[in-house]
Amino acid sequence: MTDVTKTRISGDTEFTLMPVPISDRRATWKQILVWIGFGYVVTGLFVGGVLAGFGGQPGVSYHDALWSIALGMGALFILTSLLGVASQRTGFNLALLSRYSYGARGANIVMLVMALLTLGWFSSITGMVGQIWGSFLGNVSGITVFDPAAIGRSGFPAVTLEEFLSCVVFGIIFTYTAALGIKGLELIAIPVAPAILIIALWVGGGMLAEGGGYDVFVGKANQLGGLGMGTAITAVVGSWIAGAIMGCDLFRFNRNIPAVFLCAAACFIITNPLLNIIGYMGSISVGQFNYVAWMLKQGLGLAILGVIAWTLSLWTTNDGELYCNALYTRPFLHSYGLSVTKNKLVFGAGILGTILGALGFYQLFFNTFITVLGTVAPPLAGPIIADYFIVRKKYVVANYNRQPLYRSAGIASFLAAAVLALILQYAIIIPNLPSGLLSLVVAIALYPVLYSITADSAADRELGQAPVRASR
């Protein structure tokens, strides 16, 4: 009996612990729509607001905003594509790819960080949806479920009963559809993705017109300054670095390499830059980066359309977060001999994330969350990219269960780069230096050096997957 047959019998149709066979790869057009929906999240608008100096903070001019978006999203496109090529060729998800550069249990470092990232994102997005519905419904009941001021966090809005119940209801819905796996992601994304792009463009045009038109917008934008380009690029990259690394878990279903680049482009050349620009434009034109908040003030018809579009667009993203969370927690537990089904993990994380979202995680911790983990996450991909494209060792599928428990080159290069990123982010701040991208480059450069002088290279020779210099 083959491993794939065993996987099917066990009910693991998402191949959480096995490479995806060619027979189970998905149509390219379906995957592209998944990536459009996956990339459609409020942080794209939020980053546009950051670049525009929303809330009286320093911003960047129109020219610099376009450059920071282009450079930041370009870096994410390259990073995602590199990981995607490795994942598509091998059929491996992030957990299996990580074994070859971190070790069978060393890969748990990657799994732990990504599990926390995806749980935090699921909680935040559930809170975002609940907040919009709470704004739409109003506090009709007059009941406050949780007031941040009660724990010393004044200045944050209280969670009303309407917002709390909205989080609970949609958290349950998101969790159920995420449990359907990759087919569930396609089920939501295929009808929704084209519609939300059209609505975003249409509403962006409405905000621009209300603000006085394009010329007025450009004039106001060019008066902005004070936010360095390095900080602007870091904001763009940091907002989506988790999604870029998560790409492995979606790219393994691609049928060919061109599909990888098309999917990455759908997210980082089309969807996210569009949201960045709309958020930037809305902040300057009407003082609001969130176009749905603007729609709520334009009458009942647009308000209804806004909350529905917002919910559907974030639905696809949140399903992706929860779906990938199970792909990180299951291998983590499996490495210690604990066997838990994917659906149990999806429902467990979904319930926990829904509770956190309903109790104000988004309002209270979102900014700190994306800053800290966004700083640490980029170098996670460094050892994987360096191992596959620079060291260029053979990825022998039969060996994925025979990897050493720990690979010191991968672990050390990540930890060194992550510590450097934290120092540059919080201790030694260098203007115009994108610390996240720098730490990724450091991890990529450091890994081959450490690999050549540690036991990792000897282990690969023994496994028959020593580096080859001929092209693949």
Partnered with residue 393 across adjacent β-strands are 467
Percent with pLDDT over 90 in the chain: 33
- Average pLDDT rounded to a whole number, residues 121-127: 91
Task: Answer yes or no: is pLDDT of 275 > 70.
Answer: yes
Structure tokens, 54: 């929303």
The string of DSSP codes covering 186-209 is HHHHHHHHHHHHHHHHHHHHHHHH
Percent with pLDDT over 70 in the chain: 91
- pTM of the prediction? 0.84
- The residues, any chain, with a CB within 8 Å of residue 271's CB and separated by 6 or more, are 35, 36, 39, 40, 44, 197
pLDDT band at 219 (very low <50, low <70, confident <90, very high): very high
Domains and CATH numbers, the chain: 26-463 (1.10.4160.10)
Structure tokens, 173: 């819905």
Residue with tokens 């995607």: 84
Q: How far apart are CA 148 and CA 159, in angstroms?
A: 8
Q: How far apart are CA 162 and CA 131, in angstroms?
A: 9
Per-residue pLDDT tens over the stretch 159-172: 999 999 999 999 99
Q: Which amino acid is at 67?
A: W
Per-residue pLDDT tens over the stretch 1-31: 344 444 443 455 667 678 888 888 888 888 8
Contact 139, 159 (CB under 8 A): no
pLDDT band at 101 (very low <50, low <70, confident <90, very high): very high
